[in-house]
Amino acid sequence: MRAVSALLAKNQFVIKELRTRQPVISQIDEKLLVEVAGIESAQAKFLSTDFLSYWRASSPWSKVATEGAERLAACLRSIWD
């Protein structure tokens, strides 16, 4: 919300201008934000990232947990067989 507020503070009509160029909000990309809004690439990348990807930061533990679960499942299968 802060990132969008800062963007709107510079130009209150920026979303209207973006939608004129790309009517589907989910398809407004980093390049278009830089071109139309005149913002830095890092801010444009942040603003064009979908919400689910933003909250799903990869954890170094996720790989370890997946490997552990696979080993446990293999172990249980070998006992069952």
pLDDT digits (tens, 9 = 90+) for 12-43: 999 999 999 999 988 899 999 999 999 989 88
What average pLDDT score do residues 55-66 get?
66
For the record, the structure tokens of 44 come out as 């444009």
Q: Give me the pLDDT at residue 22, please.
A: 92
pTM of the full predicted structure? 0.59
- The overall average pLDDT reported for the chain is 83
Note every long-range contact of 48-56, with CB atoms under 8 Å and residues 24 or more positions apart, other chains counting: 50/26
DSSP 29: -
**How far, in Å, are 52, 66, 70 from residue 62 at the CA level?**
17, 6, 12
Q: Give me the pLDDT at residue 66, please.
A: 77
> Higher model confidence: residue 55 or residue 10?
10
Integer Cα distance of 21 and 72 in angstroms: 52
